[in-house]
Amino acid sequence: MKPVRVDQNDLTEETWQDPARGTLRWKTLLSAGVTDTESLVCGIALMEPGQTFALHSHPHPEVYFGLEGAVDVMIDGTPHRMSPGVALFIPGNAVHGVIHADQTVRWFYSFAADAFADIAYTFA
């Protein structure tokens, strides 16, 4: 493996094809198949006021780190306030999501996986 440098400004935003999964957008920073990396998937998620990220789960644990704005992230039925500088650890198979953003919110997310495609999402 060699070091990899990725500039988020060079990346295209992605979103779910099915809006029932949520209307948030994201940029994948590191993921096998997109970058010459392995063992770690990470990116930046973005929600505008009124957007959603449907409740879901996946076997991989995940970390969120707030970059901009504040929002309640539901994790197994309990709201956890995320704001700039706040990290949330989301255990594998925990049901989580953002019901509604009332302001612009950005966060860094990360999984211990080779590729984003390896994350098996199940939506509630």
Q: What is the pLDDT of residues 39-62, one digit of tens each?
A: 999 999 999 999 999 999 999 999
What pLDDT was estimated at residue 3? 97
**Percent of the chain whose predicted confidence (pLDDT) is above 90:** 98
Question: How far is the first Cα of the chain from the last one, in angstroms, to the nearest whole number?
Answer: 37
Within the chain, strands assigned E span 25-30, 41-47, 53-57, 62-68, 71-75, 78-82, 87-90, 96-98, 105-111, 122-123
Q: What is the pTM of this model?
A: 0.95
Report the CATH fold assignment for 20-123: Jelly Rolls (2.60.120)
Q: Is the pLDDT of residue 124 over 90?
A: no
Contacts of 57 (CB under 8 A, 6+ apart): 93, 94, 95, 96, 121, 122, 124
Amino acid, single-letter form, for residue 65: F
CA pair distance 74, 9, nearest whole angstrom? 29
Q: What is the pLDDT of residues 54-95, one digit of tens each?
A: 999 999 999 999 999 999 999 999 999 999 999 999 999 999
